[in-house]
Amino acid sequence: MTEKTPLTKRYEFVLLYDVENGNPNGDPDAGNLPRLDPETGCGLVTDVCIKRKIRNYVELARENEGSYEIYVKEAAVLNNLNKEAFAAHPDMELKENKADKMAAKKREDQQTLARWMCDKYYDIRAFGAVMTTGINCGQVRGPVQLSFSKSIDPISPHEVTITRMAVTNEKDADKERTMGRKSIVPYGLYRLEGFISAPLANQTNFGEEDLDLLWSSLINMFDHDRSASRGKMAAQKLIVFEHETKLGNAPAHKLFNLVQVKRKLDVELARSFEDYNVTVDRAPAGVTAVEML
Query: CA 192 to CA 173: how far, in whole Å?
Result: 47
Binned at pLDDT 50, 70 and 90, residue 202 comes out as: very high
pLDDT given at position 66: 84
12-21, 34-43, 53-62, 169-178: segment of lowest average pLDDT = 169-178
> Percent helix, strand and coil across the chain, each rounded to 5?
30, 35, 35
**Cβ-proximal residues to 201 (8 Å cutoff; 6+ apart), any chain:** 6, 7, 125, 143, 207, 210, 211
pLDDT given at position 96: 84
pLDDT given at position 160: 85
128 backbone φψ class: left, alpha, beta (φ>0; ψ -120 to 50): left
Strand partners, 287: 243
* 161 within domain boundaries: yes
**Cβ-proximal residues to 121 (8 Å cutoff; 6+ apart), any chain:** 69, 70, 71, 129
Binned at pLDDT 50, 70 and 90, residue 228 comes out as: confident
* 68 within domain boundaries: yes
Binned at pLDDT 50, 70 and 90, residue 275 comes out as: very high
* 5 within domain boundaries: no
pLDDT given at position 99: 83
* 114 within domain boundaries: yes
* Contact between 68 and 58 (Cβ < 8 Å): yes
For the cut 70, the answer to whether the pLDDT of residue 270 exceeds it is yes
* Contact between 7 and 199 (Cβ < 8 Å): no
Binned at pLDDT 50, 70 and 90, residue 64 comes out as: confident
Binned at pLDDT 50, 70 and 90, residue 231 comes out as: confident
Most confident residue range from 97-101, 163-167, 229-233, 270-274: 270-274
Binned at pLDDT 50, 70 and 90, residue 169 comes out as: confident
Question: Helices 107-120 and 78-87 sit at what angle, rounded to 10 degrees?
Answer: 120
Write the pLDDT tens digit of every residue in 94-116. 988 888 899 999 999 999 999 99
For the cut 70, the answer to whether the pLDDT of residue 216 exceeds it is yes
* 16 within domain boundaries: yes
Which residue range forms the structural domain that includes residue 40?
Answer: 11-291
The one-letter amino acid code at 194 reads G
For the cut 90, the answer to whether the pLDDT of residue 267 exceeds it is yes
pLDDT given at position 1: 53
Q: How many domains does the chain have?
A: 1
pLDDT given at position 16: 98
| Strands (DSSP E) found in the chain | 11-22, 26-27, 33-34, 42-45, 94-97, 102-104, 128-131, 138-141, 144-146, 149-154, 158-164, 178-196, 232-243, 259-263, 276-280, 287-291
pLDDT given at position 153: 96
**Cβ-proximal residues to 291 (8 Å cutoff; 6+ apart), any chain:** 237, 238, 239, 240, 280
53, containing H or E segment? helix 47-61
Q: Could you tell me which of 263, 254, 248, 252 has the C-alpha nearest to residue 281?
A: 254
* 4 within domain boundaries: no
For the cut 80, the answer to whether the pLDDT of residue 168 exceeds it is no
For the cut 70, the answer to whether the pLDDT of residue 29 exceeds it is yes
Share of the chain above pLDDT 90, in %: 79
* 215 within domain boundaries: yes
Binned at pLDDT 50, 70 and 90, residue 159 comes out as: confident
* 131 within domain boundaries: yes
Q: What is the pTM of this model?
A: 0.92
